[in-house]
Amino acid sequence: MDDDVAVHDLIERLLPERLRRLRRVGGVPVVFGGATRPVGGTSSLVISRLTGTLGTSLHGLVVRSGLGLGGAVLRHGAARRVDDYASTAGITHDYDRVVVAEERLTSVFAVPVVVGGSVRGVLYGAVRDPHPIGDRVLTAATTIASRLQRDVEDLLRPAPPVVADPRARALDDLAAVVAATEDPGLRARLARIHRDLGGVPAQPVPGGPRLSPRELDVLRLVARGDGNLEIAGELGLRPETVKAYLRSGMRKLDVHNRTAAVHVACRWGLLAPPTAG
């Protein structure tokens, strides 16, 4: 996939959760945003996500570099805030019909999402009353945009090359021996040795809990240290879906937190124990 397309798709995928967080943390009633893409031969912002708006006129709005508040952010790559959008002289007023007349927004801020040195998205927050948006809100928005940038760059980073591991090959051989052993007692002892050495048996330990493939996928990433948002991005799921898989997995493992879930899953041979470093 082309890098530009990949960046656009990742921002669009992660944007709804980040806007919800911005609205909750910043306390602003209106949030919206989007990712950049080529429009008419130039890179423009297309607003795609809205929360708290009066209508849908902002949806699909193409914001060109240098025009309006968002266009200023696109051009200069820095956060901007206006206390009264309609009367501010420091921006053009190409979008007043939507921003002022239809949505009746007053104080508005916009922060860039910079990926690979270029502005690839913009997050907005706004109010409809005469009180200006404060520095605390702008700082929170900048932090959320920076985290979005890091998450996108992490997801774009190629996985490290797989290096042949003699220990892993030995564990695979031992797993084959376990599977071929007919004596139940000996098979159980060999399976325990295999687990103690860090191997994951081809089948769960008899009598142990059984997790679905998706529950195991989520727990493997938890064991790696990933948070719910990173897991959602990696597996192409919604964060709420990741939480649901974690809850069902913890219920089957009879534990009450994610750390204990990883520990018990490893003990039952469902996961390989996390490696140090």
- In this model, does residue 146 exceed pLDDT 70? yes
Q: Are 33 and 124 in contact (CB under 8 A)?
A: yes
Lowest mean pLDDT of 15-24, 43-52, 185-194, name the range: 185-194
pLDDT at position 183: 73
Query: What pLDDT score was predicted for residue 145?
Result: 94
When the pLDDT of each residue in the chain is averaged and rounded to a whole number, the result is 86
Give the separation between CA 9 and CA 13, rounded to whole angstroms: 6
Each residue's pLDDT tens digit, 202-236: 555 556 678 888 888 899 888 888 888 888 878 88
Structure confidence by residue, pLDDT tens digits, 163-204? 556 776 677 677 667 666 667 777 778 777 877 777 665 555
Per DSSP (E only), the strands in the chain are 30-39, 42-51, 62-63, 80-82, 108-115, 118-126
